[in-house]
Structure 1
Amino acid sequence: MTMRSSAAPTPALLLPLLLLVSLVATLLLPAGPAAARGAVVDPMVGAPQRGECYLLTRQQADTEVANPVAARDCQQVHTAWAAGATEVPESIPLSAQSTALQKFASRACGDLAGRYIGSGKAYATSTYLRYVFLPSEELQAQGARWVSCVVAAQKSGQLQRTTRISPLRVKGLNPEPVAACLDAKRRVLACEFAHRYRGIAGTTVVGRMTPERAATLARRYCPRKAGRGYLASTRNVEDNIHVLICWRRTRK
């Protein structure tokens, strides 16, 4: 006896079957891309909080791009503090080579550090340095779009080690632990240490600074502020704003 095959589904039954197969296939698709498209992305994910402490070398601070991830207890020895972080607009590429990002980060860090440690002439004649960092590649893959600002005090070409929980603020006449002086090799360090010159704010200058302009300003302001045998330098404190520093010879 020849066995008869089952009858094919009629068109009326075929449509529900196709819909069922389609539904099952949809449920079995990997959730990654779809979830990523529907997920809420936090552009500040992983951003450092103001007051975090780091143990960085001067070389690390000068060369590394990604924000330090090894925050430590501020009661332990450290060399830097986080002043905070700011979200970067979507219109600005999150690349260290981007001129737009460099300008944005400079202004952002100036604002963050200004609120944290001080600004203007007081900052210019302090031992503080400001550093900008970006999120790590891993954090950027999670949607992070921020720049962080980290402050540190310099000491003879290195970053000063400290157990101070928070940095001293600068305003007017800087306290000795952060007032800028020069050692015998003319490297910046705090005036509480042995030094040869003490920094005094000369004048604030807006616009492009050239060696010729700096020399003219030094001749005008420094003799009466720092006396004979002075040294002079300029320091950028904000976007296109500089401070002339007159260095007065001392005996300490």
Structure 2
Amino acid sequence: MTRALRLLGVTAVLVLLAGLLGVGTASAGETDPDPLAGAPAKGACYDLTYKQGWEHSVPEAPVECSDDHTTVVIAVGQLKAGVTWDSPEKTISKNVGAQCGAAFAAKIGSKPALLMYSQYNWFWFAPTDAEQEAGARWFSCHLASLEDNALSDLPDKLPRAGRNLPDVLARCYVGRKYAATTCADRHDWRLSYATVVRMKPTAKNLDKAAKRICPRHVSSRVWLRSAVPIDRKSFAIGCSTKTHR
């Protein structure tokens, strides 16, 4: 996939850019390459739609953060030495993922159980072709809160992931496919409790842990369980209460 939304929920989904123009060597008399040509400022806010998140470069100008906005720049990284926009997708992905992931963790947190309570995600944009021709090597990491098919308006203050988040950030589920969405959006289930289980993340262990943990942490007779593998010996499990919205 190219030019796709770059997200990090509890597990990262890194979608890569391929085939973009490389930066040639400047000839005599040309301006020196500028690695930050066109880069946004850290903290800049944008009012983007979910569809616009699929563009490979930021499709809109920034807006005042006091106005409605759906993303905020949490970092402006640069490709490391030896990496260009013509490098293999896997190489670019590793470089971008390391820097944006670190910025996300610093801003929102990195504990899997706490991340499950939120719809926080990150995605990234590359420079335009013209900016790349000017020598741009930057990429911008944007924080967002995802509904099932939209971006939620962000509040003025962005609390770290955890319990008691405002509805526009909190995780709920909707529909027969149990799509994750914010609790400000239409939903059928709300995450009530999440914890880390030190067991191999097999289907049998997930079911066993859910039956042991969830009934004590939900307020409805029926409940929904969700889980995210952390490594080969542990996983985070979430228990959701049935709602009437």
Common topology (TM > 0.5): yes
Pick closer, same or farther for the CA change 1:229–1:173 going to 2, 3 Å: closer
Q: Which residue of 2 aligns with 1:66?
A: 57
Calculate the aligned-residue CA RMSD, in Å: 3.2
| Residue 158 of structure 1 pairs with residue 146 of structure 2 | no
Contact 2:38 2:136 in 1 (8 A): yes
Q: Which residue of 1 aligns with 2:104?
A: 113
Matches within 5 A, 1:61-210: 61=53, 63-95=54-86, 98-121=89-112, 122-162=114-154, 164-166=155-157, 168-177=158-167, 178-184=169-175, 186-191=178-183, 195-199=187-191, 200-203=193-196
Q: Which residue of 2 aligns with 1:209?
A: none
Q: Give the SS at the match of 2:29.
A: helix
The one-character-per-residue Cα deviations of 1:58-82 (angstroms, maximum 9, x if unpaired) are 1221x21113451111222221111
Q: Distance in 2 between matches of 1:54 and 1:204?
A: 38
Of residues 41-50 and 240-249 in structure 1, the stretch that sits farther from structure 2 once superposed is: 240-249
Of residues 168-177 and 132-141 in structure 1, the stretch that sits farther from structure 2 once superposed is: 168-177
Q: Give the residue type in structure 2 aligned to 1:226.
A: C
Pick closer, same or farther for the CA change 1:171–1:58 going to 2, 3 Å: closer
Contact 1:51 1:81 in 2 (8 A): yes
Deviation at 1:94, TM superposition (A): 1.6
Contact 1:195 1:250 in 2 (8 A): no
Contact 2:49 2:151 in 1 (8 A): yes
Pick closer, same or farther for the CA change 1:193–1:56 going to 2, 3 Å: closer
Q: Which residue of 2 aligns with 1:55?
A: 47
Pick closer, same or farther for the CA change 1:70–1:196 going to 2, 3 Å: same
The one-character-per-residue Cα deviations of 1:153-198 (angstroms, maximum 9, x if unpaired) are 1123211134x335x1224424233221113453323335664323
Contact 1:118 1:170 in 2 (8 A): yes
Matches within 5 A, 1:4-15: none
Q: Distance in 1 between matches of 2:78 and 2:33?
A: 13
The one-character-per-residue Cα deviations of 1:96-154 (angstroms, maximum 9, x if unpaired) are 96111111211211111222233332233311121021111111111111221111111
Q: Give the SS at the match of 1:94.
A: coil
Q: Which runs of 5+ in 1 are unaligned?
A: 1-31, 207-211
Q: Distance in 1 between matches of 2:141 and 2:66?
A: 21
Q: Give the SS at the match of 1:155.
A: coil
Pick closer, same or farther for the CA change 1:67–1:123 going to 2, 3 Å: farther
Which of 202, 224, 227 pairs up with 1:230? 224
Q: Which residue of 1 aligns with 2:12?
A: none
Q: Give the residue type in structure 2 aligned to 1:130.
A: W
Q: Distance in 2 between matches of 1:243 and 1:102?
A: 24
| Greater C-alpha Rg | 1
Pick closer, same or farther for the CA change 1:137–1:223 going to 2, 3 Å: same
Q: Give the SS at the match of 2:106.
A: helix
Q: Give the residue type in structure 2 aligned to 1:170.
A: R
Pick closer, same or farther for the CA change 1:172–1:57 going to 2, 3 Å: closer
Contact 1:83 1:150 in 2 (8 A): yes
Given the two structures, how large is their TM-score scaled by the length of structure 1? 0.69
Q: Number of residue pairs matched?
A: 209
Given the two structures, how large is their TM-score scaled by the length of structure 2? 0.71
Q: Give the SS at the match of 1:144.
A: coil
Q: Give the SS at the match of 2:27.
A: helix
Q: Distance in 2 between matches of 1:242 and 1:101?
A: 29
Q: Which runs of 5+ in 2 are unaligned?
A: 1-25, 216-221
Deviation at 1:83, TM superposition (A): 0.9
Q: Give the SS at the match of 2:83.
A: coil
- The share of aligned pairs that are identical, in percent, is 24
Q: Which residue of 2 aligns with 1:247?
A: 239
